[in-house]
Amino acid sequence: MKLPVYLDYNATTPLDPRVLDAMLPYLTDKFGNAASRNHVYGWEAEEAVERARRKVATVINAGTKEIVFTSGATESDNVAIKGVVEMYGRRDGADRKDHIITQVTEHKAVIDTCTYLQQQGWDVTFLPVDRTGMIDLEELSQAITDRTLLVTIMHGNNEIGTLQPIAGIGRLCKRRGVLFHTDATQSFGKVPIDVEEMGIDLLSLSAHKIYGPKGIGCLYVRRRNPRVRLAIQMHGGGHERNMRSGTLNVPGIVGLGKAAELSVESMEEESRRLTALRDRLSESIMGQLEDVTLNGHPVHRLPNTVNLSFAYVEGESLMMEMNDVAVSSGSACTSASLEPSFVLRALGVSDDLAHGSIRFSLGRLTTTEEVDHTTGRVVSAVRRLREMSPLYEMAKEGVDLSKVDWHAGTG
């Protein structure tokens, strides 16, 4: 067993050796520019790009001309949201289209893009989520007006794993004539996605979350019913049907194609295996420790993700106590800051509990041995920290901590 145990697959994944093998020729001998039309170097690069395009498109039931390669999901989210707003938005007149709907637990790539647009004068609705991280379809329906031009709601959440009711959102958007974008970076390759069945108009994904290389992803852009057009965000040579100029990252694209193909091949089996390991981890921890709660939806959740709150302990101390396990804490997500996770806050988790939360995200290389090692480390670390916690002692003596006047006697 390699230490530290890596249980942070939602942050990034290792490159699958089969993906590296597929990429290598395009980093060495086959180095051509896919836009070179006059020689075999260009042709073989272009052919490789088109093969990869077909592989990615197949996974989501899209056409090859609907795939636009980008540098990753952050770029895809930006291109989709700003591209739609600049193409279709109108901020004055009786037929104004100036309204975007998103929700509070989106990835920062979506939240910050929407906040930026809000600062530019566009009207943005951030829908709330319930305790499990789900939006309410009825609430979404009521939020849509004649002025709404885009709904952007993620598929699988990166911190808690909750899967939004994408097909329901898609149907609603179709019926109301509103474009629908989804950030599917965490769900792509882990759960089935069908852009036709789910009524998706735009979809973002990234290779490095599915055992592909970093710095490559794509945006699905619907071509029929309706044909979605995007205002150009990157001007230049007109690559990718003029939606994203810049010399194509051929090895990256080949890697994304291979990673997508491998993910779909193993999806069913991998999903079953990871769900079992994920549940083994949480059930074993919760069986040995009290005051542990699950964050996220108990059922509609990514197969590899489990986010737990440990009352009376502090996430950073917990991570230090179990330093041979690589996980994410509920306060480290915006890295440098020690703000509690905005996602957990949005669920109504208290700041104290959010600080004592850990995200375990499992993946292709995770073994039962690693899960059991992690369980042991978590249980002993939490016990040790609680033994040192005056709060825990008070709670065990029956003191209602929510009623304690912490300032009494300080004069």
Ligand X SMILES: *Cc1c(COP(=O)(O)O)cnc(C)c1O
Of 182-190, 194-202, 303-311, 399-407, the window that binds ligand X (rule: CB under 6 A) is: 182-190
DSSP state string for 289-308: -SSEEEES-SSSB-TTEEEE
Question: Can residue 107 be called a binding residue for ligand X (CB under 6 A)?
Answer: yes
Question: Can residue 103 be called a binding residue for ligand X (CB under 6 A)?
Answer: no
- Does an H or E element contain 357, and which? strand 357-361
Count the residues in the chain: 411
- Which is closer to ligand X, CB of 74 or CB of 375? 74
Of 14-22, 42-50, 183-191, 258-266, the window that binds ligand X (rule: CB under 6 A) is: 183-191
Quote the tokens at residue 153. 């709601």
Compute the distance between CA of residue 84 and CA of residue 82 in angstroms, rounded to an integer. 6
Alpha helices in 289-364 (DSSP H): 315-321, 342-346, 351-355
- Which is closer to ligand X, CB of 96 or CB of 108? 108
Half-sphere exposure of 234 (CA within 13 A, CB side): 20
Of 79-87, 180-188, 295-303, 332-340, the window that binds ligand X (rule: CB under 6 A) is: 180-188
- Which is closer to ligand X, CB of 71 or CB of 375? 71
Q: Which of 114, 173, 218, 333 is catalytic?
A: 333
| 6-65: contacts with ligand X (CB under 6 A) | none
Half-sphere exposure of 72 (CA within 13 A, CB side): 12
- Which is closer to ligand X, CB of 76 or CB of 125? 76
CB 82 within 8 A of CB 133: no
- Which is closer to ligand X, CB of 125 or CB of 162? 162
User: Which are the contacts of 99, defined by CB distance < 8 A and separation ≥ 6?
Assistant: 122, 123, 124, 125, 145, 147, 148, 149
3-state helix, strand, coil in the chain (%, to 5): 40, 15, 45
| 137-166: contacts with ligand X (CB under 6 A) | 154, 158
Among 164, 206, 304, 305, binds ligand X (CB under 6 A): 206
Question: Can residue 181 be called a binding residue for ligand X (CB under 6 A)?
Answer: no
| 3-state SS assignment for residue 3 | coil
Compute the distance between CA of residue 353 and CA of residue 312 in angstroms, rounded to an integer. 8
* Count of chain residues binding ligand X (CB under 6 A): 13
Of 59-67, 68-76, 386-394, 395-403, the window that binds ligand X (rule: CB under 6 A) is: 68-76
Among 89, 199, 217, 296, binds ligand X (CB under 6 A): 217
- In the complex, the smallest distance separating the C-beta of residue 32 from ligand X, rounded to whole angstroms, is 25
Question: Can residue 105 be called a binding residue for ligand X (CB under 6 A)?
Answer: no
Max CA-CA distance within the chain? Answer: 84
Of 66-74, 220-228, 263-271, 282-290, the window that binds ligand X (rule: CB under 6 A) is: 66-74
- Which is closer to ligand X, CB of 117 or CB of 256? 256
Residue 98: burial class (beta carbons within 10 Å; 0-12, 13-18, 19+): middle
Compute the distance between CA of residue 207 and CA of residue 209 in angstroms, rounded to an integer. 6
Of 24-32, 67-75, 241-249, 309-317, the window that binds ligand X (rule: CB under 6 A) is: 67-75
- Which is closer to ligand X, CB of 134 or CB of 144? 134
- Which is closer to ligand X, CB of 89 or CB of 217? 217
- Does an H or E element contain 182, and which? strand 179-183
The site string for ligand X over 69-98 (x = CB under 6 A, - otherwise) reads: ---xxx------------------------
The site string for ligand X over 108-137 (x = CB under 6 A, - otherwise) reads: -x----------------------------
Compute the distance between CA of residue 223 and CA of residue 227 in angstroms, rounded to an integer. 4
Half-sphere exposure of 357 (CA within 13 A, CB side): 31
| 3-state SS assignment for residue 53 | helix
Catalytic residue status for 333 = yes
Among 102, 185, 305, 328, binds ligand X (CB under 6 A): 185
- In the complex, the smallest distance separating the C-beta of residue 186 from ligand X, rounded to whole angstroms, is 5
Question: β-strands 202-206, 217-221: how paired?
Answer: antiparallel
Say how far residue 352 (Cα) sits from the centre of its chain. 24
Question: Can residue 296 be called a binding residue for ligand X (CB under 6 A)?
Answer: no
- In the complex, the smallest distance separating the C-beta of residue 383 from ligand X, rounded to whole angstroms, is 32
- In the complex, the smallest distance separating the C-beta of residue 180 from ligand X, rounded to whole angstroms, is 16
The catalytic residues are 333
Query: What residues line the site for ligand X (CB under 6 A)?
Result: 72-74, 107, 109, 154, 158, 183, 185-186, 206, 209, 217
